[in-house]
Amino acid sequence: MSNTVKQAVEAARSRSEAMVSAKGVQNDTAAVANDFLHTPLMRAALPFINGGMSGMVATTVIQPVDMIKVRIQLAGEGKAGGPRATPLSVTREILASGKALDLYTGLSAGLLRQAVYTTARLGFFDTFMGSLAARTKAKGGTVGFKERAAAGLSAGGLAAMIGNPADLALIRMQSDGLKPLAERKNYKSVIDALSSIAKSEGVAALWAGAAPTVVRAMALNFGQLAFFSEAKAQLKSKTTWSANAQTLSASAVAGFFASFFSLPFDFVKTRLQKQTKGPDGKVPYSGMVDCFAKVAKQEGIMRFYRGFGTYYVRIAPHAMVTLIVADYLGWLTK
């Protein structure tokens, strides 16, 4: 009996020591991970990593809406009248000509674009905001709307220039289905699209539509990041809402202003990036200003805001998912 008790005590002691040892290993692992996250290199890289991951999650969710938005913008090109494309009619047309997965055409390009563009956009914005906050704090002040706007505009412009090739590939892949069967490229992936464009049109062609892309990104960032930061700051100081409610509401406000400021440039960007040389060797638009002028003359000034509802449904949830995921990743890695 005494031997049995002694054996039980020894077994319990062994289990206890094993549990303590395992817990110690877990704590050591967590400490090492925490120390790694706080190294200077990782602190500088985390805004970019979190931005890219959050943008890719959002794109995976929103891609079908983006596909419909692009088709609406390309419908009725060069005509003032004619039947008006709607989200429902475009969706029906896509589904009738293929399958439901056609709504995800260009997803690989969309993910690459987010990996490049959103990584840079949110990374630069967080980096600029950190520098501005440190500078204003040293002077005894606080970061205001003007500083947020400057950070948003700068981050958007820089990121758009870097990400233009992926953006161009996305538009080409999404618009390919509008061409006659004999003229379609049938791109297999974003790598196939990029290499095909560079081979047939030259490497410089990958930056086609860069001007409206940069202006669009600056306008979108101004509306999204500056108004998100401002709305969140105002809601935090003037309401007793939960942090999640403040983030969702600020994202919705930011999505509206981002859509309003950027849609005309997004429209022109889509037209310029979709165009290819005709039999005469010429393209329909020589640049951003020419595209604005021709569309306004041939199709009417309000054509620039056609599909605003679809664009907002694409921008606002994308902004919400991106900013919420970025906020959460920022909290996890702080």
pLDDT tens digit string along 185-209? 989 999 999 999 999 999 999 998 8
Residues in the chain predicted with pLDDT less than 50, given as ranges, are 1-2, 5, 9, 20, 22, 25-26, 28, 30
pLDDT of residue 2: 45
pLDDT of residue 268: 92
Q: What is the pTM of this model?
A: 0.67
Question: How is residue 214 written in tokens?
Answer: 């940069």
Q: Which residue has the tokens 């758009």?
A: 160
Residues with Cβ within 8 Å of 209's Cβ and at least 6 positions away in sequence, in order, are: 164, 167, 168, 171, 268, 269, 272, 273, 288
| Per-residue exposure over 137-158, b if at least 16 CB sit within 10 Å of its own CB, e if not | eeeeeebeeebbbebbbebbbb
Q: Strand runs (DSSP E) across the chain, as ranges?
A: none
Q: Report helix, strand or coil for 256.
A: helix
